[in-house]
Amino acid sequence: MAKQDIAKKAAKPAKVVKPAGRVLRLGVIGQGRSGRNIHTEFLKNVPEKFKIVAVSDLLADRCERAATEYGCATYQDYREMINDKSLNLDLVVNSSFSHMHAPISKEIMLAGLNVLSEKPFARTSDEVKELIGVSKQTGRLLAVFQQSRFAPYYRKINEILLSGVLGRIKMVKIAFNNFARRYDWQTLQAFNAGGLFNTGPHPMDQALGFIGRDIMPNVWCKMDVVNSLGDADDFCKVMLSYPGRPIIDLEVCSNSHFNPYVYQVYGTYGSLTGTMNRIEWKYYKPEEAPPVKLIREPLPGPSYCSDKLEFQSEAWEVPAEEKDLFNSTSARFYDNLYDALTKGTALVITPEQVGQQIAVIEECHRQNPLPRKF
């Protein structure tokens, strides 16, 4: 398994550092579920670090609501916002439609502003490479909101696997499943939608930490439209492999009521199972295991192999202070982003790492060209 990626650091961002301790002035594009519920509603509670000074949304009533709730300037055209120099913006949060993430992030950087893009970061790896190039060209910080990298259950699983108690890891199974009939724009291929582009970036980002962020894995994928009213996938099964690395078995499906686990891990000394709230693992200590030898002859009597292994059992439950998963992960993500902008601290989650994820998702779609109906 790859080393714990929570601790990995990338090159420090260039030409973006603001004075330490400064309150950063934010503009937010989009006031739908992501822009409002995920970003502005969280950021309004961190006034010592962030101030929402402007919001853009196509719908007038959302602009009116934002003006009332946050006391900020509002724009129905995001271009007016990012080009309004009087706002003195330090960062723009791009929560536009998924198919607009890449082009709008490019516009933001070319306007001289730092950008935080919602997921999915882009549709293709070529788009990712272009965005990274624009970031280097302009000296603007480019970040992607993959906050699930900071999830307490994911950090705990990393800790357990790195401890070595489960031995060599052979397979990691991840299931982000539910049962739903979705009918909004997130079901349409034309909007870069579907389960793998919408929900998938969270478990895919975690999965790539186990197989390694330094390689392009072998990809096998099956996708289909089952309950969705659109033409984008709501069933996705992915297998990732690479010589000498764990096999990754990943599901993102909207047709399963029964989700007994989010994670399962198979190791040579033991195994693990768990949800986002509780993890259990069992293992034996090889130095304490009774010696066994291969016997080629028939065993005497009506007998069978008997291995007297003594298993250790452990369990973990999410700490009370992190039971609010969204606020916990968002706080850690935004703390790192704030430090990157004010102290030059390296981003934990780099655009290059997310580019690996987009390359995998792109290959999944290449293998499954679903018919476009809308």
Q: Which residue segment(s) compose the domain that 50 sits in? A: 5-146+326-357
Q: Which of 9-18, 124-133, 331-340 bottoms out in mean pLDDT, i.e. has the lowest?
A: 9-18
Query: Distance between CA atoms of 141 and 116, rounded to whole angstroms?
Result: 8
DSSP code of residue 264 = E
Q: Which CATH number goes with the domain that contains 228?
A: 3.30.360.10
SS3 44: coil
CB 225 within 8 A of CB 232: yes
Query: Distance between CA atoms of 313 and 330, rounded to whole angstroms?
Result: 32
Q: For residues 155 and 295, state if they share a domain.
A: yes
Q: For residues 216 and 283, state if they share a domain.
A: yes
Is the residue at 367 inside a domain? no
The pLDDT value recorded for residue 260 is: 86
Please determine, for residue 16, whether its predicted confidence score (pLDDT) is greater than 70. no
234, 239, 245, 146: CA torsion to nearest 10: -10
Domain count, the chain: 2
The proportion of the chain whose per-residue pLDDT surpasses 70, expressed as a percent, equals: 94
- Mean pLDDT, rounded, for 217-241: 97
pLDDT in tens, 244-276: 999 999 999 999 999 889 999 999 999 999 999
pLDDT in tens, 82-127: 999 999 999 999 999 999 999 999 999 999 999 999 999 999 999 9
Please determine, for residue 299, whether its predicted confidence score (pLDDT) is greater than 90. no
Task: Write out the DSSP string of 141-157.
Answer: -EEE--GGGG-HHHHHH
The pLDDT value recorded for residue 306 is: 81
CB 148 within 8 A of CB 205: yes
The proportion of the chain whose per-residue pLDDT surpasses 90, expressed as a percent, equals: 89
- Mean pLDDT, rounded, for 6-25: 61
CB 161 within 8 A of CB 276: no
The pLDDT value recorded for residue 301 is: 77
Please determine, for residue 13, whether its predicted confidence score (pLDDT) is greater than 50. no
Q: For residues 185 and 99, state if they share a domain.
A: no
Q: For residues 27 and 117, state if they share a domain.
A: yes
Q: For residues 68 and 112, state if they share a domain.
A: yes
For residue 272, the cross-strand partners are: 265, 281
The pLDDT value recorded for residue 340 is: 97
The pLDDT value recorded for residue 20 is: 66
Is the residue at 362 inside a domain? no
Q: For residues 14 and 113, state if they share a domain.
A: yes
Position of tokens 């009939």?
Answer: 181
Extract the runs of DSSP E, i.e. beta strands, from 201-277.
Answer: 218-224, 235-241, 247-251, 263-267, 270-274
Q: For residues 158 and 297, state if they share a domain.
A: yes
What value does the mean pLDDT of the chain take?
94
The pLDDT value recorded for residue 18 is: 67
The pLDDT value recorded for residue 17 is: 64
Query: Distance between CA atoms of 76 and 114, rounded to whole angstroms?
Result: 20
Q: For residues 308 and 270, state if they share a domain.
A: yes
Is the residue at 370 inside a domain? no
Query: How many Cβ atoms from other residues are within 10 Å of residue 234's Cβ?
Result: 28
216, 217, 218, 220: CA torsion to nearest 10: -110
Q: For residues 277 and 340, state if they share a domain.
A: no
Please determine, for residue 10, whether its predicted confidence score (pLDDT) is greater than 50. no
| Residue 360 pLDDT class (50, 70, 90 cuts) | very high
Please determine, for residue 6, whether its predicted confidence score (pLDDT) is greater than 70. no
Please determine, for residue 8, whether its predicted confidence score (pLDDT) is greater than 90. no
For residue 223, the cross-strand partners are: 236
CB 216 within 8 A of CB 356: yes
- Mean pLDDT, rounded, for 303-331: 92
- Mean pLDDT, rounded, for 343-365: 98
